[in-house]
Amino acid sequence: MKHNLAQDLEQCALPSALEIMGERWSFLILRGALSGIRHFEEFQSTLGIARNILANRLGRLVENGIMVRQPMQCDRRKVEYRLTAKGEELAPVMVALRQWGEKWGCAPSSCQVLADRRDSQPIRKMVILAHDGRTLALSDLVWLCADEVTPMVAEPAAA
């Protein structure tokens, strides 16, 4: 069955996700948070972002459930911004976008390399995987309505 892409876009999650993330500063704030930055002043000094823009973007990220604003345990007058589970799940998106930028010359050659903490080896290139672990090419993909998706058959338990 052929799908009308313009009609499908109305029900697509991508436009809503882009609206929530906003623009460049939101992605850079998210990058900082994924790297362990927690405090307003740290975001500001690291990113070189104006206070009003930072406050606005942090507010939007909190409002959309990507980050949470919490009083610090040691000093309740100070707050920190932490990623929620929803925010942490943006990590693969950020890594894939960064890898794309590295491949297509959007980064200096001296760019830091993202590596596995355990063995300091660079992470693998992000790819699209099938349910069974196969790497898929763009030509392997098809858009289906939810009711057209074949349910997964559970493997019998090993005896």
Domain-embedded: residue 118: yes
Report d(CA 10, CA 16) in Å as an integer.
Answer: 10
The pTM for the full model equals: 0.78
Among 66, 76, 67, 25, residue whose Cα is nearest residue 47 = 25
Residues in the chain, pLDDT under 50: 1
Domain-embedded: residue 119: yes
CATH (domain of 118): 1.10.10.10
**Domains: count for the chain:** 1
Q: What is the pLDDT of residue 147?
A: 80
User: Three-state DSSP class for 81?
Assistant: strand
Contact 96, 126 (CB under 8 A): yes
Q: What is the pLDDT of residue 2?
A: 54
Domain-embedded: residue 156: no
Domain span including residue 10: 5-148
Domain-embedded: residue 82: yes
Q: What is the pLDDT of residue 82?
A: 96
